[in-house]
Amino acid sequence: MDSAEHNDESREAAVSLAERVDAAFAADGALADALPAFETRDSQREMAVGVAEVFESGGVLLAEAGTGIGKTLAYLVPAILSGHRVLLSTGTKQLQDQIFYKDLPALRGALEVDFTATYMKGRGNYLCLHRFDAYRAGDELRTATDEGYVEDIAEWARQTDTGDRTEVEDLPDDLPFWSEISATSENCVGTDCPQYDECFVTRMRRTAAESDLVIVNHHLLCADAAVRQSAYGEVIPACHYAVIDEAHQLEDVATQYFGVSVSTYRLERLVGDARRYLDRDVSDTPDVADHARAGLDRIERLSGQFFAAVLTHLPSAERTRLDADVLAPVMESGRGLASAVRALDDTLGPLADLSEDLRSLRRRVRELSDQIDFVLDTSDIGFVYFLERRGRGLFLRASPVDVSSIVRELLLDRMQATVLTSATLAVDGSFEYQRSRLGVLDAAELQLASEFDYANQTVLYLPVGMPEPRAADFTRAAAERITALLEATRGRAFVLFTSYANLHDVHRLIATNSPFPLLVQGTAPRSVLLRNFRATPHAVLLATSSFWQGVDVAGDTLSCVIIDKLPFTPPSDPITAARMDAIARDGGSPFSDYQVPLAILTLLQGIGRLIRHRQDRGVLSILDSRMLTKGYGRRFLASLPPSPIVREIDDVEQFLTRKGM
């Protein structure tokens, strides 16, 4: 290295990361020079510097970045310039796509920094070569349509570099046999696999281990952490710096992945896989194989009896909290099923060395028998036990009541620096709620208001005369106000409900006379509904929880967001009830300390669908009279953007006329 190069490196080392990031966001900086749409925003620059500082000093940064700030660039630039391997976890695939396919290519040119990035999805998105070969060689009865898809996948498998199923055009989302051939951790045989080196997941992990940026979503992040203690399934490489975007979703996702689930589907897969492996791999010891097949027949019979008893004797609600009394009518058949699964472990012992699949199967059998015992026991107060009915499936689940210590141990404590960010993190001007839920003991804090001018871009319509949500005439009154609002805005609205029941009742009341195209959640996939909404003039979308966040419709296509009720999680929900019980045991107020903060954050996500750009304008409306009649309503009002409140539909019409809408 010559002296000039050495001096250049010395000068760069003398300039802190925070200073380099600050310079990049300046009015005459690298981003302004290279990105045509870039405009300097003080709040974005402040957040970027805050991220850089925590990357330099270590620790945790809690950063609430209101809509319009541009938080994605605010953490990507310091991540790139840091020179560290940084794990970027998002709440949605859409944001993963935006980062990988749009933001990073733009920043590579703007910053003139050479960096690499890997986009990682959940294991179930990838083809397992080992299982696919076994599936093709098996004698399963397949339809002509399925055979066609098998051949399409085989042709693609010979050419693909990633094994990502989205590369196969026209492959149905609900392809019946995909679960048989995907690279899920449950089926993975790890380094024993004969195709381990060629495995798409192995290759993805090796690529990620050599990349500067590793882009995942919260589901993969938590699923990976949950199997980290096992020899199977971990795919995310070690990273010591992390950015968790849409961090308000992390608690719910962690709750899902750090629990236990025993389901009809899981038993069916276990029995089906075991029969295939025995037929394929066991020939020299037919007596032992026949004994194992008899054990599988017993498991199948007892599983059918157990889940039939669950259907008959347990409550028919979609989610039912379980305890010893509720489970008493099915306990004997459940214990019998666990015993049958455990007996299969002993039977498989002499066969386990015959193939890597049989060894993996024995591991699955031991794990399943232990987990059946665990969900039937219901005695660990750290878990909430519940039955979930979903489609034709029955799921007995045990989920952690409090994931704060899990998130701290498996994520925060493993990182040198972590940024937790979202447009909605603070409640009542404080991060205390998220700190307690996510196990954040010590952190820097940054709360940055939205860049949008809500005082001029919006009004908030809180109609007079609305009955309380529990009143018998609430739905009819809501339908009347919604109809009047849609007439004023000429459609172009999201109507967001807290339940399917409310959605269907209102739809029934307004559908007959509505002059506007009504798109209803459940009638088409989410992506199709959004595409149709954007393409259909004056459309109205009626939807529930999945449209409250992660949806971006810019411009006059969306000019009104209506919310029927404050989005309190029902106290009858098993997880909510268990968390409220835990807070009460600790001397807190379940309603004030948990239900209200959670509802505020959900409400903010919902109303955040309206204004996505500086040019957007429109009407926000909340039909819940408790906003003004209950003491806790003041907490909701104080958390909302500073939109002028109007009470009459005439005021809404005047605003729209004034704005030329």
Confidence of residue 243 (pLDDT cuts 50, 70, 90): very high
| 373 and 472 fall within a common domain | no
Question: Distance between alpha carbon 193 and the CA centroid of its chain, in Å?
Answer: 30
- Asked if 555 and 609 count as a contact pair (C-beta separation under 8 A), the reply is no
Whether 118 is covered by a domain: the verdict is no
How far apart (Å, rounded) are the C-alpha atoms in residues 441 and 54?
15
Of 41, 120, 111, 38, nearest to 78 (Cα)?
Answer: 111
| 646 and 509 fall within a common domain | yes
Output the domain CATH number for residue 460: 3.40.50.300
Per-residue model confidence as pLDDT tens digits over 619-630: 999 999 999 999
Per-residue model confidence as pLDDT tens digits over 48-98: 999 999 999 999 999 999 988 999 999 999 999 999 999 999 998 889 999
Show the CA angle centred on residue 170, arms to residues 166 and 174, nearest 5°: 75
| 305 and 379 fall within a common domain | yes
Strands (E) across 39-189 are located at 59-65, 86-90, 117-119
Report the pLDDT value the prediction gives residue 229, as an integer from 0 to 100.
58
Confidence of residue 6 (pLDDT cuts 50, 70, 90): very low
Whether 367 is covered by a domain: the verdict is yes
Q: Is the pLDDT of residue 284 over 80?
A: no
| 503 and 639 fall within a common domain | yes
Whether 409 is covered by a domain: the verdict is no
| 616 and 475 fall within a common domain | yes
Whether 150 is covered by a domain: the verdict is no
| 359 and 487 fall within a common domain | no
Per-residue model confidence as pLDDT tens digits over 419-430: 999 999 999 999
Of 117, 89, 100, 123, nearest to 221 (Cα)?
Answer: 89
Structure tokens at 169: 């055009």
Show the CA angle centred on residue 231, arms to residues 96 and 225, nearest 5°: 35
Question: Distance between alpha carbon 648 and the CA centroid of its chain, in Å?
Answer: 38
3-class DSSP state for residue 496? strand
Partners of 213 in the beta sheet? 86, 117
| 389 and 459 fall within a common domain | no
Output the domain CATH number for residue 312: 1.10.275
Domain count, the chain: 2
Q: What is the mean pLDDT of residues 431-437?
A: 96
| 510 and 640 fall within a common domain | yes
Report the pLDDT value the prediction gives residue 36, as an integer from 0 to 100.
87
Mean pLDDT of the chain: 92
| 503 and 606 fall within a common domain | yes
Q: What is the mean pLDDT of residues 554-566?
A: 92
Per-residue model confidence as pLDDT tens digits over 361-371: 999 999 999 99
Whether 503 is covered by a domain: the verdict is yes
| 382 and 492 fall within a common domain | no
Report the pLDDT value the prediction gives residue 7, as an integer from 0 to 100.
46
Whether 468 is covered by a domain: the verdict is yes
| 496 and 623 fall within a common domain | yes
| 511 and 653 fall within a common domain | yes
Question: Distance between alpha carbon 431 and the CA centroid of its chain, in Å?
Answer: 21
Question: Distance between alpha carbon 657 and the CA centroid of its chain, in Å?
Answer: 39
- Asked if 152 and 171 count as a contact pair (C-beta separation under 8 A), the reply is yes
Per-residue model confidence as pLDDT tens digits over 335-346: 999 999 999 999
How far apart (Å, rounded) are the C-alpha atoms in residues 58 and 418?
8
Which helix (H) or strand (E) covers residue 626, if one does? helix 626-629
Whether 232 is covered by a domain: the verdict is no
Domain interval for residue 313: 261-397
Q: Is the pLDDT of residue 565 over 90?
A: yes
Per-residue model confidence as pLDDT tens digits over 464-502: 999 999 999 999 999 999 999 999 999 999 999 999 999
Of 526, 522, 659, nearest to 651 (Cα)?
Answer: 659
Whether 113 is covered by a domain: the verdict is no
How far apart (Å, rounded) are the C-alpha atoms in residues 449 and 68?
9
